[in-house]
Amino acid sequence: IGGVSSDCCTSVAILNFKIRGGVCGAVGAKSNGSGCRITICANGEALVGTYCGKAACDIFGCDCINGCLHGNWAQDFLRKNYLHGIEILGTEMANECGFCKFLIDNGITKFRFSKAL
């Protein structure tokens, strides 16, 4: 039975890699000049939308319906795309905050979040 999870699904991995005999778009990535770059969720698939929830999340990436996507990050990305001959050059872990980005993009640079107890 599905439900809402109190976990936040904001963690992502940014992969830089080379792809043999193909183009970055074949695996949903973009060219970065020296290879390819993609932002993935823990299940090894490209980030779709803002957060890595299994379904809708609140504006902070928390309380996602049915929880967060799980997996082994780059290992799952390589396993799912093994036919493309991918060589990982680097991995950077990050946290996404779509609402924070919206505020900054709209000139609101000073904000503080507090959570009610």
Count of domains for the chain = 1
The model's pLDDT over 51-78, given as tens digits with 9 standing for 90+, comes to 999 999 998 888 999 999 999 999 999 9
Classify residue 74 by burial, with Cβ atoms within 10 Å: 0-12, 13-18, 19+: middle
| Within-domain flag for 111 | no
The model's pLDDT over 18-31, given as tens digits with 9 standing for 90+, comes to 999 779 999 999 99
Q: At 63, which CATH number?
A: 3.30.70.2800
Question: Does the structure show a pLDDT above 50 at 117?
Answer: no
pTM (predicted TM-score):
0.80
Question: Does the structure show a pLDDT above 90 at 101?
Answer: no
Report pLDDT for 65: 94
Distance CA 55, CA 48 (A): 11
